[in-house]
Amino acid sequence: MNVDRTEDVSAMIDDELEQDGQHLVDDLLNTPLLRERWRSYHLIRDSLQHQLPEKLDKTLASSVAAKIDNEPHILAPVKKSQPAYLKPLAGLAIAASVAALAIVVLQPAQEGSSEQGIQVASFTPVGTPVTSQARQDDAQIRQVRAEARARLNSYLVNYNEYQTNSGIQGMLPYARTVTYENNRK
């Protein structure tokens, strides 16, 4: 090992390194001789500054290293600071996203209701009797209701079966199971 590198470690200990320390850290961590000097120089410092404990354990650092080997690696996320002027823009972007989402979600429902209104208006051609249009609307509504009733009945039956099989009592055993007849008049 180059003597200069050992001298660099000495300067590094004093925080007096003139050149970039990254390469020296690489060498320090991977060269046993430099690590040995790192330990020795600090021991000399602690001794001269009366920082030594009464008894020194040679194996302390290796014991800590063994424990840390069982720990997961630290990978701290690198924080990327954004300029202050971007913060209001970020808030604006979030607000715009929420607004866009609201438009996408709510518009079909509104369109659906407005279409019905438009259909009612447009399905009334000039000269067509009002009663004929009313019959068409009635038929549509009856069909939608029938589908909903079928789904509801199916749900109630399934729920009732599940409740019986799982031994759950609840209120339904004491109440009539409600079904809805499709062909009710």
- CA–CA dist 134, 147 (Å, integer): 20
Tokens coding 126? 């000039």
In terms of C-beta density within 10 A (0-12 exposed, 13-18 middle, 19 or more buried), how is residue 44 classed?
A: exposed
Q: Does 59 bind other proteins (CB under 8 A)?
A: yes
181 binds other proteins (CB under 8 A): no
Phi, then psi, of 127 in degrees rounded to 5: 95, -15
**Choice between 13 and 156, CB closer to other proteins:** 13
Given the complex with other proteins, which of 41 and 159 has the nearer CB atom?
41
Which residue's entry shows tokens 């120089």? Answer: 41
Q: And the tokens for 8?
A: 């660099």
Q: How far is the CB of 86 from other proteins (least distance, A)?
A: 22
3-class secondary-structure state, position 53: coil
Q: Which is nearer to other proteins, 64 or 141 (CB)?
A: 64
45 binds other proteins (CB under 8 A): yes
Beta carbon nearer to other proteins, 73 or 185: 73
- Please name which of 161, 182, 183, 181 lies closest in space to residue 172, comparing C-alpha atoms: 161
Site membership for other proteins, residue 100 (CB under 8 A): no
Angle at alpha carbon of residue 70, lines to 66 and 76, rounded to 5°? 110
Site for other proteins in 60-99 (CB under 8 A): 60-61, 63-65, 67-69, 71, 73-76
For the window 9-38, what string marks contact with other proteins as x by the rule CB under 8 A?
-xxxxxxxxx-xxx--x--xxx----x-xx
Structure-token pair, residue 170: 């609840």
User: Which DSSP symbol is given to 172?
Assistant: G
**Binding residues among 122-161 for other proteins as defined by CB under 8 A:** none
Q: Which residues bind other proteins (CB under 8 A)?
A: 6-7, 10-18, 20-22, 25, 28-30, 35, 37-49, 51-61, 63-65, 67-69, 71, 73-76
